[in-house]
Amino acid sequence: MIELDAVSHRLGERAVLRDVSLQLDEDRIGVIGANGSGKSTLARTFNALVVPDEGEVRVNGLDVRKRARDVRRQVGFMFTDAGSQILMPTVAEDIQLSLRDLPMSKAQKDARSREVLDRFGLQDHADHPAQLLSGGQKQLLAFASVLVRDPQILVCDEPSTLLDLANVLHLQHTLADLPMQVILLTHHLELLDDFDRVVVLDEGQVVADGKPAHAVTFYRDLMASRT
């Protein structure tokens, strides 16, 4: 569970988040809003990539200011461009990198790596150059590299932006099958149809919060009012 109490944050002179208070405990939560609404900054407070200027963020009771390292072990983070998360030359090496600081034996790490490669259909690509994978395969590798650490919460910051329709659908199915809490930031609103809850941000504030049908309709009407 993620809790935010009166969270505010500025980038220079601009207020990016304004007095945001939320309790996020549902299994599937979407966060939507126009570009510049504060979505990405909000998401980055969930694992201490951003520490807010004011207010508190707690993850499973841990204050992100005081327990950033422990929080990051519990919260996996997927960025928009999966390729930017790939740091090692081969697929297998990239998975191994994610395990480097975990208290596991080499045999345990090897077994965990094989398991996650099988899970995401990458077992035949283990020794392939990671940057030569297709866009969809890079997305799967990014998921595998995050999920091999077995996080309790997965935050995805617009992971469908660079994908074609087939891979967007694959992403949808992948998210549906994951056992942990998922928080998804997206402009592909149809991905949220079966979610438990959707939060709408506008100019750094929560302006709607509820079931997908209600929140998405509110957001569409808000955007239509500005055209």
Q: What is the mean pLDDT of the chain?
A: 91
pLDDT digits (tens, 9 = 90+) for 154-195: 999 988 877 788 878 888 888 888 899 999 999 999 999 999
Across 33-43, average pLDDT: 95
At 49 the pLDDT is 93
Would you give the end-to-end CA distance of the chain in angstroms?
37
Among the listed residues 111, 131, 166, 45, the one whose alpha carbon sits nearest the alpha carbon of residue 142: 131
At 59 the pLDDT is 97
**Pairing state of beta strands 153-157 and 28-32?**
unpaired
Is 82 a residue whose pLDDT tops 80?
no
Least confident window among 57-66, 128-137, 161-170: 161-170
pLDDT band at 201 (very low <50, low <70, confident <90, very high): very high
Give how many domains the chain has, as a whole number. Answer: 1
Q: Give the CATH number for residue 145.
A: 3.40.50.300
pLDDT band at 220 (very low <50, low <70, confident <90, very high): very high
At 83 the pLDDT is 80
Q: Which domain holds residue 35?
A: 2-224
H or E element, residue 177: helix 165-177
Strands of the sheet containing 181-185, edge to edge, are 75-78, 153-157, 181-185, 28-32, 197-202, 205-210
Across 82-95, average pLDDT: 88
What are the residues facing 58 on neighbouring strands?
Answer: 3, 63
